[in-house]
Structure 1
Amino acid sequence: MGPVGITEPISLSGPSEFDVIKTQELEKFLADSGLFDIQEEAVLREEVLGRLDQIVKAWVKKISQAKGFNECFVKEANAKIFTFGSYRLGVHGPGADIDTVCVGPRHATREEDFFVELHNMLAEMPEVTELHPVPDAHVPVMKFKFSGVSVDLLYARLSLWVIPEELDMTKDSILQNVDEQTVRSLNGCRVTDKILQLVPNIQNFRVALIFMRFWAKQRGVYSNVSGFLGGINWALLVARVCQLYPNALPSMLVSRFFLIFSQWRWPNPVMLRSIEEGSLSLPVWDPRRNPRDRLHLMPIITPAYPCMNSSYNVSSSTLRVMTEEFQRGSRICEAMDINEADWNTLSEPYHFFESYKDYLEIDITAENEDDLRKWKGWVESRLRHLTLKVIERDTFGTLQCHPHPADFSNKTRKFHSCFFMGLQRKQGAPVNEVKLYDIRATVNDFTQLVGTYTMWKPGMEIQVSHVKQKNIPHFVFPGGVRHFQVTVSVDGKSRKRKRVEVDVDSMSLKKELDVHKANELTAPVKGSRESVNVSVINSSAEQVKVKVHPHTSCFQNGGLEELEPSELCAVFGRLQTARSKATKKPMIRLSLYSTIKAGGSSQ
């Protein structure tokens, strides 16, 4: 097989014995983390896809008959379901959704037949739940669950009168005389197939991609809608590394991924093949001709015609976050090469709510669960206009936003959901000791945009507020309990020193302080199944002094077998973490409306 990609490989070397061992460890880590598909779920997904195919075939015959076509035409009328994304790539795991596209004939319209007639058919089926149409999205989609399996269904309207059962999606001719929404809807299938053609070893690609997807979710950088990267973006980046190291095993591919993209000079594009103009005169990504393409900060180009930038949502703030994560990953991979770190260390969850002093909280409410699901989907799809574009624009890039890709829900409030964004001043920007950012106009612009929702109903409201780290609501933390961390140093007879991070339950600690007792708390040691006993000695408004009583077994690894059980004292900052011990930053103050309804009025 000849060279694959737009450049020659960096290395053709095969795996070493160390690479084989590390790959075995990686595969065990993925299996232990439950990232491989379960047979029962795989069978269910196949059944769901088969059922969906039957439904769209019945749908197209029904609308063909309603439009007055003759009996022979109705009998030949056809539509077909194709998959794309993680399912088609073979990297999906338990509970994953299925990305699908319904390919229909020219007389089956998107606005009326797909989003009305097919929607109504699905709504009447008992196995279909949480049906949510998003016709105004960049790629119009219907989201729903079918027999408990999450499905995203797109629609592609071809110029053909009859859709052949053996339709070849790789041919450019199927794009002839179709609208932009159809081109974008077909792009997923065509790109997925092209990726699998362009990687030198599909199995190694899949294992590396499964890990990188998991890593991105753990580190909070997996979300296209939030301005980070989605599934197809990560697939394209991993595929490019596979091209550059065609004979490398998955462990080496992961290591080289971080090495390459920690040093990548954006906005130089990542491409799996050269961009082709094609014969259909469809627009392709070309910053030389298209001024809008020059604004893209992290271009990752799709390999199928028409070649597009798949990462147009990335902003300067989210690019900064991802670059820092790539650099962290590269450092840990270097430590793994000398056995000072492992796959758990590399994929440790990012502590978002310990990383900033200031946050933006966006709360949304609705009258019922169905309205909340639709309202949340709409607000989330528009959120980047507030956090990634408008704020950066209105503060001239001096205020950076880090969106959390997940939403949270306060169980004590009915039909509620909220999003959070970390805020910080751009490093190197000139500042005063106190800087006031007036973003009222920003919030107003955002609410006007949100207020254009065509399916808005009374009760759909949104509230935007500035929250300090110490006031982050407890419902965002696992189990509704906030944990602080203290790092203690342990000295044994051998005079060796080992750092141990201990999680302290804030509720239990508060209970200790409230009753003014020094009863011992049990706290887990980070990265270990062991625990230590922690007792409160005294406290002030700024810090708590605790005694840590280590169990000897906690510290036996790493040559500390001679450690004698002893009491250790550590200063415990109530809002201080390992990440926030840097030099004190200037205060950030925000001026904004506290409550905004969809129509843009303030309370």
Structure 2
Amino acid sequence: AILCAYICHKFLAPIKSLSSIEQFSIEEFFSLVQQFFSTFAHFNWSADALRLYPKSYKPKTLVGRSLAHNRGSMRIISPSAPFNNTGRSTINSTRDLISEGLERVLQLLTTINTITSEDKWNALKQILELSHEFPSEKVKSILRLTLSSENGQELDEWIGWTKSRLGHFLNDCEEECHLSIQTQNSIEYRSNNIEGFYAIGFQLDPQSLNRNRKFFDCLKKFLNQFNLCPNRTDSMKISQDVISVHDWKLERTQPKPQRLRK
């Protein structure tokens, strides 16, 4: 939302009245979309912070402000909470994937016709139809987490506990192990909803990842967190394995019980 506001603030002409919004053309909207992707695909996220300040805003000097502003790999600064930095929890791997996605859309827009209004509508439709690629071409191994329980309600609680601990594990993998990561967008459920599967991609091959002591120290620390779940029952189990991307894709082509994504 902050990125959209930045583009509108910078490139959108002032709106004179509410009635003028109804006359907003597809050409004007498409121009803003182009500006969005061209601006942020080329933005130097690793070195610069994006700042959205109204002209009348005067930044205040507060203790700890610099720490909050410098936190995260995509520093998106605005006058509003939380901590004036909406991207403070972004890790390098996520930033790189976002940048690749922005660049992917920009490349699409340079290869298709966008002359007529119909062309622009079709271009917007193609942007929306771009799929999230998991695993990406750079990923060589998959850490697969399998969560199970005796009923769907327990499984949802188990998955919620996993998600609450996952961020720390990913940060440890990046900061302590210096690994590049790609996470799956969704949990996959078996059709009976008593098993859930979640995949995390790494750019190391399985052999190198299995030999990485720091990685397994971080993984052990992550798995130990599941013993602290206050509502864990005997039926709530978790297992993990590291497999190659080839094996992961091959496994998914085999006939198995139906999986649902949520």
Query: Shorter-chain TM-score category?
Result: 0.7 to 0.9
How far has the Cα of 1:240 moved from its partner? Answer: 0.5
2:45 equivalent to 1:269: no
**In the TM superposition, what are the counterparts of 1:395-406 in structure 2 within 5 Å?**
395=177, 397=178, 399-406=179-186
1:48-99 Cα offsets, whole Å, 9 max, x none, are: xxxxxxxxxxxxxxxxxxxxxxxxxxxxxxxxxxxxxxxxxxxxxxxxxxxx
Which residue of structure 2 aligns with residue 408 of structure 1? 188
Q: Match for 2:9 among 230, 243, 246?
A: 243
1:462–1:293 distance in 2 versus 1, CA, 3 Å: farther
1:147-193 Cα offsets, whole Å, 9 max, x none, are: xxxxxxxxxxxxxxxxxxxxxxxxxxxxxxxxxxxxxxxxxxxxxxx
Which residue of structure 1 aligns with residue 171 of structure 2? 389
> Percent same amino acid at aligned positions?
19
**In the TM superposition, what are the counterparts of 1:238-387 in structure 2 within 5 Å?**
238-247=4-13, 249-266=28-45, 267-273=47-53, 274=57, 276-277=59-60, 286-287=65-66, 290=67, 293-304=69-80, 307-336=83-112, 342-347=123-128, 348-353=130-135, 355=137, 356-386=139-169
How far has the Cα of 1:389 moved from its partner? Answer: 1.0
How far has the Cα of 1:254 moved from its partner? Answer: 1.0
The CA distance in 1 between the partners of 2:150 and 2:79, in whole Å, is 44
The CA distance in 2 between the partners of 1:327 and 1:272, in whole Å, is 22
Which residue of structure 2 aligns with residue 444 of structure 1? 220
What is the RMSD of the two structures over their aligned residues, measured on CA atoms? 3.3
**In the TM superposition, what are the counterparts of 1:439-518 in structure 2 within 5 Å?**
439-472=215-248, 473-474=251-252
How far has the Cα of 1:338 moved from its partner? Answer: 5.1
> Residue type matched to 1:345 in 2?
Q
How far has the Cα of 1:408 moved from its partner? Answer: 0.4
1:414–1:242 distance in 2 versus 1, CA, 3 Å: closer
8 Å Cα contact 2:148-2:235 kept in structure 1: yes
TM-score by length of 1: 0.34
How far has the Cα of 1:450 moved from its partner? Answer: 3.6
1:299–1:410 distance in 2 versus 1, CA, 3 Å: same
Unaligned runs of 5+ in 1: 1-234, 426-430, 482-603
8 Å Cα contact 2:114-2:123 kept in structure 1: no
Unaligned runs of 5+ in 2: 14-26
> Residue type matched to 1:406 in 2?
S
**Higher Cα Rg, which structure:** 1
The CA distance in 2 between the partners of 1:319 and 1:268, in whole Å, is 13
Query: Which one has a larger percent strand, Structure 1 or Structure 2?
Result: 1
8 Å Cα contact 1:408-1:417 kept in structure 2: yes
Q: Secondary structure at the match of 1:346?
A: helix
> Residue type matched to 1:286 in 2?
R
Higher relative contact order (CA closer than 8 Å, sequence separation 6+)? 2
Equivalenced residue count is 229
How far has the Cα of 1:300 moved from its partner? Answer: 1.8
Which residue of structure 1 aligns with residue 23 of structure 2? none
1:321–1:284 distance in 2 versus 1, CA, 3 Å: farther
> Residue type matched to 2:131 in 1?
P
Q: Secondary structure at the match of 1:381?
A: helix
How far has the Cα of 1:314 moved from its partner? Answer: 1.0
